[in-house]
Chains A and B, each alone.
Chain A
Amino acid sequence: MKMTRVKLPKKIEKDFNEYCKERGIKGGKKRELLAKLKKIVKKSSFEPAEAIGVITAQSISEPATQMTMRSYTMASQAGRLAKVTFGLPRMIEIFDARKTFERSMNIYLKDEYNNKNSAKRLAEKIKEKFVKDVVEKSSIDLLNMQLEFELSNGANRDMIKLAIEKYTKNCAVNFRGNTLYIKPEKAEIKDLRNIKIKILGTHLSGVKNILNVAVIKNGNDWIIQTDGSNLKKILEMDEVEIKRTYTNDIYEVEAVLGIEAARNLILKEAQKNLNEQGLDVDVRHIMLISDVMTVDGQIRSIGRYGVSGRKSSVLARANFEETLKHLTIASFRGLWDELRGTVENIMVGNVAPVGTGIVELVVEPKKLKKIKKRKKASS
């Protein structure tokens, strides 16, 4: 292949041009260097049918074994405001595409709100408050069959009254001093307890799912870190800078920002996590994983219920996990295996379509006969 045909990645091209400008390299010398660079790029890029999946798996798994050993000594890390899982457990969360984990958000503010007071005000505003947060003492008065809530100072009574309206339809709601009395018209002790639990858990103000907030300063930016996340509601706020605000919940990002954003988040989270642990994994491997996880247009986990469990080949699926299940289903339904993939070909002892094994020879019998005839004639 001619070296001029190799197309350089834009970043390398840009870096090369800058380098030449800096050193004052022009004309023939530059052309010579460019040819050399293209040769190197060509050499370092993968050949067709290279088994990059296996290389990626190996390249990420080997450092991950180091991570297990180290994460014990790093278990209690000071200076972290929000509860965040990290190390190997976080890695598993990302690649398994878990739906339950410690969510957290980093909220950036627009320039005009980028100061301490605004940040604190917004943090107070978005923190989810329940009735139980403004109640200091709650009790059931069995003599009068009523509920008593002692409210803390500064609690907004009208707001509370409005919020608990749902559960107090047949009740007499009264304020005396700082205490709220709720007396149902007729109720048993069981009902009283139910009403009490419901009222204490009623959402009062703030954004749903934002459980805790902390304001921190990073460089020139005031950032609000949260426990729990609600990307949609936060992005709708006027004060929030959409560009950098992010959550660590992949599914939420997919729903609000789309699949490409989810792919970028997987990449970013995995890379951040590995870098935090001081592990050097080439970003290309993580790119491949995040691409594989989002290739369907929705997030698929790496594993039994995701990528591996959805392979088209029966044998490849059976080879991974739950062998009996897959083979049983296949025999019941009369499924078919085309023997196109790597795993199934190794299983049956064929040449696997990897590397040089992917090349197939196609012969047209008619032409072959012609060639044979010609050979005979010439000899």
Chain B
Amino acid sequence: MTEEKTINVSESGFVPKHELLSYEQAQELLKKLNISLKQLPKIKKTDAAIKELNAKRGSIIKITRNSQTAGVYYYYRVVV
């Protein structure tokens, strides 16, 4: 097998929805949570789940997680 096939990562049941926040949304979020970018959990720029989002360093990824206790909740990671 020489041809490289790309896997659609978001199809997997293990990968929650990843979204890129715009600059305004990101600032609003930081203000609402009263934190700086440094304090957010991190995600690598090369992470398989955000390859297609073309996220730049320092932008925030919004992750819609499915939880057994809360149903749906949002988690945020900063791209490093």
Which residue of B5, B15, B72, B73 contacts A260 across the interface (Cβ within 8 Å)? B15
- Once the chains bind, are B71 and A258 in contact (CB under 8 Å)? no
Which residue of B9, B63, B69 contacts A257 across the interface (Cβ within 8 Å)? B9
- Once the chains bind, are B11 and A242 in contact (CB under 8 Å)? yes
Which residue of A9, A257, A297 contacts B48 across the interface (Cβ within 8 Å)? A257
Q: Does A122 contact B (CB under 8 A)?
A: no
Residues of B in contact (CB 8 Å), total 31
Residues A297 and B7 in contact in the complex (CB < 8 Å), given A244-B13, A257-B12: no
Interface string of A262-294 (1 = CB under 8 A from B): 001100000000000000000110010001001
Q: How large is the interface on A (under 10, 10 to 19, 20 to 34, 35 or more residues)?
A: 20 to 34
- Once the chains bind, are A259 and B13 in contact (CB under 8 Å)? no
Interface string of A223-262 (1 = CB under 8 A from B): 0000000001001100000111110000001011111110
Q: Does A298 contact B (CB under 8 A)?
A: yes
- Cβ contacts under 8 Å, A259 to chain B: 43-44, 47, 49, 77
Q: Does A83 contact B (CB under 8 A)?
A: no
Residues A258 and B42 in contact in the complex (CB < 8 Å), given A11-B69, A283-B68: no
Residues A298 and B44 in contact in the complex (CB < 8 Å), given A236-B7, A243-B12, A258-B9: yes
Interface string of B1-26 (1 = CB under 8 A from A): 10001011101111110100000000
- Once the chains bind, are B43 and A265 in contact (CB under 8 Å)? no
Which residue of B7, B68, B73 contacts A235 across the interface (Cβ within 8 Å)? B7
Which residue of B7, B13, B65, B77 contacts A256 across the interface (Cβ within 8 Å)? B7
- Once the chains bind, are B14 and A253 in contact (CB under 8 Å)? yes
Q: Does A10 contact B (CB under 8 A)?
A: yes
Task: Tell me the bound Cα distance from A235 to B13 in angstroms.
Answer: 13
Residues A9 and B49 in contact in the complex (CB < 8 Å), given A243-B11, A296-B42, A298-B44: no
- Cβ contacts under 8 Å, A243 to chain B: 11-13
Within 8 A of B (CB), among A294-312: 294-298
* B15 CB to nearest chain A CB (Å): 5
Looking across the interface, which residue of chain B has its beta carbon closest to that of A258? B49
- Once the chains bind, are A258 and B15 in contact (CB under 8 Å)? yes
Task: Tell me the bound Cα distance from A274 to B14 in angstroms.
Answer: 20
* A161 CB to nearest chain B CB (Å): 20
- Cβ contacts under 8 Å, B69 to chain A: 9, 11, 283-284, 287
Looking across the interface, which residue of chain B has its beta carbon closest to that of A207? B1
Within 8 A of A (CB), among B18-52: 18, 41-44, 47-50
Which residue of B5, B13, B47 contacts A297 across the interface (Cβ within 8 Å)? B47
Task: Tell me the bound Cα distance from A284 to B68 in angstroms.
Answer: 9
Closest 3 CB pairs of A and B: A11-B71, A258-B49, A10-B71
Can you offer 28 A-B residue contacts whose CB atoms are under 8 A?
Answer: A9-B69, A9-B73, A10-B70, A11-B67, A11-B72, A236-B5, A243-B11, A243-B12, A243-B13, A256-B48, A257-B12, A257-B15, A257-B49, A258-B18, A258-B47, A258-B48, A258-B50, A259-B49, A260-B18, A260-B65, A261-B9, A283-B68, A284-B69, A287-B67, A296-B42, A297-B41, A297-B44, A297-B47
Known: A14-B71, A297-B44. 10 other contacts (CB 8 A): A11-B70, A11-B71, A246-B14, A256-B7, A257-B14, A257-B15, A258-B15, A260-B43, A284-B69, A296-B42
